[in-house]
Structure 1
Amino acid sequence: MNYQPDSVTSITLSAIPLPLATPISDAKVFTGRQKPMTEVAMLFVEIGTAEGCSGIGFSYSKRAGGPAQYAHAKEIAEAALGEDPNDIEKIYTKLLWAGASVGRSGLATQALAAIDVALYDLKSKRAGLPLAKFLGAHRDSVRTYNTSGGFLHASIDEVKDRATQSIEQGIGGIKIKVGLPDSAEDIKRLDAIAEHVGGTPLMVDANQQWDRTTALRMGRVLDRYNLVWIEEPLDAHDFEGHARLTTALDTPIATGEMLSSVAEHRRLIETRACDIIQPDAPRVGGISQFMRLLALADEAALDVAPHFAMEIHAHLAASYPRETWVEHFDWLDPLFNERMEIADGRMIIPDRSGLGITLSEQARRWTTDTVTID
């Protein structure tokens, strides 16, 4: 059977602010660098083709940048019209050059990411395969940990209650936030949670709020807890500082979520600045770029724990040769008609084709701006 070319005929962009039930605070709030987060700005892309195929993708921004992502995507999306949707790398490059004057990382590629993800969703749907199977899965489930219950705005009792709920729901690990101005308070919270969860795998996340001296001192204290990792102990771009910590500490160092290009991640890998790399597909430009990054990580024998957006990252993590951790956030649940299944500490890869998600009516109601380019 000969292949019949298809073409992109429509691209619908939707700006959807996702309200959070409770304002969220991590260490950046307590050090005065940011305000509590009250919503996540979502950019959704729905692509249609001449042959009647469709795909959905998304990107996001926290606290700032959502309207700018939407505006940039609106400017460049026309470049994909008429292209064969199977030629994802070609389309990515064309879109990249359409917006080249604002660079090849950060907001520019985060806007492009939503289109790239939608193209992968479309292509795997056309093949009748879940995205993980389309990419080539190594497993049908991935280890998962809860991170949305351990924020610093919550009391110790609240964090303990949420940890109990997560474990009972089948979550395999618990992460809590640290990085308070008073490190003794961090240790107090960690002691309480570590005792409460017993042998359940435990991680901590400082959200870049320690300097090198504090990170080393705290790291030496944290070594006694047998943590799965210490996340973002330093500024995300302090590659040398992170590299020193990976050498000095027994506890693995995890970082990478705030980096917004493959080039930045390559430097992280080349300097051996982490034991566990935490890329974010929407932040680095989509699935095309994420898969390039995974190849580099695999060559360097690094573990991987993608950041946020589990609806995308579960599929990508399943395609990595080594066992991974995927972050479980329930924040995005209201946006979709489907739910990720959790059992025995693992997130099950959906058997639906593509990403396996469809936008809910609630998401449609939250939409503040939408445009179809055809």
Structure 2
Amino acid sequence: MTDSTFLDFTSATETSAVNERHFGALRPGEASLDRIASVRISHAVLPLKGAISDAKVLTGRQKPLRDIAFLFAEIRTEAGLEGVGYSYSKRAGGEGQYAHAREVAPELLGEDPSDVQRIWTKLVWAGASVGRSGLATQAIAAFDIALWDLKAKRAGLPLAKLLGAHRDSVACYNTSGGFLSSSIEEVVENAHATAAAGIGGVKIKVGQPDTRIDLKRVAAVKEAVGDGIDLMVDANQQWNRSTAIRVGRALEEFDLTWIEEPLDAYDAEGHADLARELATPIATGEMLTSVAEHAELIARRSVDFMQPDAPRVGGITPFLKIMALGEHARVRMAPHFAMEIHLHLAAAYEHDPWVEHFDWLEPLFNERLETAGGRMAVPARPGLGFSLSERARAWTTASERFGSHG
């Protein structure tokens, strides 16, 4: 090898460094403005005022819901900024989420919190042996949501504005007043209270073994609220295909905004058939835990309203991918539960979304969301715009901090 050949070879190995000096490029990490200094995770259990039942209880598949388990993540940086996020579980899985979060939380330390997508991938692969969907990604959802909260706070913007809002308020509907554990008189009373609170829609549960009872309850609520408020129903996956067609056609006279989860959550083909056969729009997706599962619903035209849940799909990072797929297909969106998070995401969605109002979670936070004229207003506070209350701290059963406490 001649000297000139050797020089050519060594200069090739130095090209990257020369280009970095000449063009101002930076090696990975050199552009970081801040680093994650500490992570605190907490497991808290929110007690409900009473036992809640939907069709899954009446068909014997689940027990009444009495509380909700939450995984909170609080991420603090060297510069003193803090982001808060949460995931949740109903009936089972909360302790599993917390255990998985404990294992992967140290992976966050020292990272640039602005690199949210890369951190999401890192956390997913840290626990990939137990899967890249389901409980594993639901555990990291709390971290991902906290990082997006922090990122918007650094910018001094509500998350909706950071993402690029289409609107400053979103049409909202209430679910917490329409469960099957409530008498029809109570459901009607709750529907009137919902309208008086400035909420634009009411969703009631159906899917009972005797469908005639469902039809009577829907008729009573429709008569009570009239045409001034939207009405939705939710069967919680308890119908088979023939029942869904039969009851779906009987429900068409009520001009419903949608029928939710008429079939098993994973029956994309069946939902597609219903969407073609029924005049009433079909909504589903809340039980799915990955982008791929939502992509199948969208590709098959199984939904008129997709209903992703950010904590369930792994956080805001994968939720944004679902939004992009839905926008491209011109599917409308009505995210499930977690209105403190989903309000911002719905505000940034192109195609006229809804957001679900649940008052169950309000004791967990110091702030309240405002409703008027059938819509929920995006708060002007930076980030997601909420902070954990003292009651949330009191309901905490386990907590651990990683990194420096400063």
Same fold (TM over 0.5): yes
Instruction: Please name the residue that 1:16 is paired with.
Output: 44
User: Which amino acid is the alignment partner of residue 307 of structure 2?
Assistant: Q
Q: 1:147 aligns with which of 175, 178, 184?
A: 175
Deviation at 1:3, TM superposition (A): 6.3
Instruction: Please name the residue that 1:274 is paired with.
Output: 303
8 Å Cα contact 2:97-2:135 kept in structure 1: yes
Q: 2:391 aligns with which of 362, 365, 372?
A: 362
Deviation at 1:322, TM superposition (A): 1.4
Deviations 1:256-289 (A, max 9, x none): 0000000100111111111110000000000000
Between the aligned partners of 2:237 and 2:148, the Cα distance in structure 1 is: 32
After superposing on structure 2, the runs of 4+ consecutive aligned residues of structure 1 that deviate more than 6 Å are none
Deviations 1:218-275 (A, max 9, x none): 0111111110000000000001100000000000000000000001001111111111
Instruction: Please name the residue that 1:219 is paired with.
Output: 248
Does 1:325 find its partner at 2:354? yes
Between the aligned partners of 1:340 and 1:274, the Cα distance in structure 2 is: 28
Instruction: Please name the residue that 2:26 is paired with.
Output: none
Instruction: Please name the residue that 2:79 is paired with.
Output: 51
Does 1:37 find its partner at 2:65? yes
Instruction: Please name the residue that 1:71 is paired with.
Output: 99
The 5 Å alignment of 1:77-156 reads 77-156=105-184
User: Which amino acid is the alignment partner of residue 86 of structure 2?
Assistant: F
Instruction: Please name the residue that 2:238 is paired with.
Output: 209
Two-structure CA RMSD over aligned residues (Å) = 0.9
Does 1:263 find its partner at 2:292? yes
Unaligned residue ranges in structure 1 (runs of 5+): none
Secondary structure of 1:10's partner? strand
8 Å Cα contact 2:32-2:112 kept in structure 1: no
Deviation at 1:4, TM superposition (A): 5.5
Between the aligned partners of 1:202 and 1:330, the Cα distance in structure 2 is: 18
Secondary structure of 1:153's partner? coil
Deviations 1:21-61 (A, max 9, x none): 01110000000000000001000000001111110000000
Between the aligned partners of 2:332 and 2:52, the Cα distance in structure 1 is: 28
Between the aligned partners of 1:4 and 1:88, the Cα distance in structure 2 is: 12
Between the aligned partners of 2:304 and 2:157, the Cα distance in structure 1 is: 32
Instruction: Please name the residue that 1:334 is paired with.
Output: 363
User: Which amino acid is the alignment partner of residue 310 of structure 2?
Assistant: A
Secondary structure of 2:343's partner? helix
Deviations 1:73-93 (A, max 9, x none): 110111111110000011001
8 Å Cα contact 2:365-2:387 kept in structure 1: yes
Q: 1:297 aligns with which of 307, 313, 326?
A: 326
Between the aligned partners of 2:94 and 2:34, the Cα distance in structure 1 is: 31
Does 1:346 find its partner at 2:360? no
Alpha-carbon spacing, 1:167–1:187, altered in 2? closer, same or farther (3 Å): same
8 Å Cα contact 2:257-2:280 kept in structure 1: yes
Q: 1:246 aligns with which of 271, 275, 279?
A: 275
Between the aligned partners of 2:373 and 2:50, the Cα distance in structure 1 is: 28
Between the aligned partners of 1:271 and 1:225, the Cα distance in structure 2 is: 27
Between the aligned partners of 2:32 and 2:283, the Cα distance in structure 1 is: 45
User: Which amino acid is the alignment partner of residue 366 of structure 1?
Assistant: W
Instruction: Please name the residue that 1:283 is paired with.
Output: 312
Deviation at 1:312, TM superposition (A): 0.1
User: Which amino acid is the alignment partner of residue 36 of structure 2?
Assistant: V
Q: 1:234 aligns with which of 263, 266, 281?
A: 263
Between the aligned partners of 1:329 and 1:191, the Cα distance in structure 2 is: 23
Instruction: Please name the residue that 2:190 is paired with.
Output: 162
Between the aligned partners of 2:169 and 2:31, the Cα distance in structure 1 is: 33
Between the aligned partners of 1:88 and 1:80, the Cα distance in structure 2 is: 10
Of the two, which has the highest radius of gyration? 2
Instruction: Please name the residue that 2:8 is paired with.
Output: none
Number of residue-to-residue matches in the alignment: 373
Between the aligned partners of 1:146 and 1:239, the Cα distance in structure 2 is: 26
Between the aligned partners of 1:134 and 1:5, the Cα distance in structure 2 is: 18
Deviation at 1:143, TM superposition (A): 0.1
Instruction: Please name the residue that 1:195 is paired with.
Output: 223
Secondary structure of 1:368's partner? strand
8 Å Cα contact 2:38-2:402 kept in structure 1: yes
Between the aligned partners of 1:36 and 1:83, the Cα distance in structure 2 is: 42
Between the aligned partners of 2:282 and 2:58, the Cα distance in structure 1 is: 22
Deviation at 1:5, TM superposition (A): 2.0
8 Å Cα contact 2:336-2:355 kept in structure 1: yes
Secondary structure of 2:263's partner? coil
Secondary structure of 2:399's partner? strand
